[in-house]
A = this chain, B = another copy of it.
């Protein structure tokens, strides 16, 4: 294991491996090979092995990977063995849709008993939402309490929020991002069409629908 510096591309593939292993495991397959994982995810077997080898020697030569073991390792690597609390800012149409999605997206993970039919609840979910609209503050959407954005700092500490999802209008995105940074948030998923400027130790993923559609448009003509 040489866990020095993991390339971003690899980190983006890890959840796919997790999902693949989970799928094999659910189908009562105890051992998976890099070729199987490769076929499932669409990557080459060599790439799967290289990626996993960055974190340790999880497989057995001549055999493959123990599905349950690998699954747990991947959860460890991704930091999903503990509860990960996510916050959401902005309760417009998109924000509310994400909340509903959140509830349904709770995926199970194999329980410790080794019984494939036993599942412990997924640990990554949105546990708090924020908005400025006084009509929204105080209510509960999809079982998630809504606070005023002014409380972002306090509630982040109180609830241990680690990831923040931004579904706010473009002109408030920068300010909200700044609040998140002040609150010690280390990862932001940004849906606003704005380039957020944050310190180097904060990771921002952009999910800009307009941008994605515009680049897809390229492929319809080429």
Q: Please give the residue numbers on chain A whose beta carbons come within 8 Å of chain B beta carbons, in ascending order.
A: 6, 11-12, 14-16, 18-19, 40-42, 77-80, 84, 86, 92-94, 96-98, 100-101, 105, 107, 124, 162-163, 165, 186-189, 193, 195, 203, 205, 207, 209-222
Contact = CB atoms under 8 A, between A and B. Distances in A.
Copy number in this complex?
Answer: 2
A214 B105 contact: no
A79 B217 CA distance: 6
Contact of A195 (B6, B11, B41, B217): B41
A219 B11 contact: yes
A77 B217 CA distance: 9
A80 B214 CA distance: 8
Contacts of A14: 214-215, 218
8 contacts: A79-B220, A80-B214, A84-B217, A163-B213, A165-B213, A187-B217, A203-B216, A205-B212
Contacts of A101: 93-94, 209
Contacts of A80: 214, 217
Nearest to A196: B42
B93 A210 contact: no
Contacts of A219: 11, 186-187, 203
A212 B219 CA distance: 24
A34 B80 CA distance: 42
B6 A214 contact: no
Given A41-B195, A97-B94, A101-B94, A212 B220 contact: no
B203 A163 contact: no
Contacts of A86: 213
B98 A96 contact: no
A84 B193 CA distance: 20
A97 B98 CA distance: 9
A97 B102 CA distance: 14
Most-contacted residue by chain B among A18, A96, A107, A219 (CB, 10 A): A219
B78 A11 contact: no
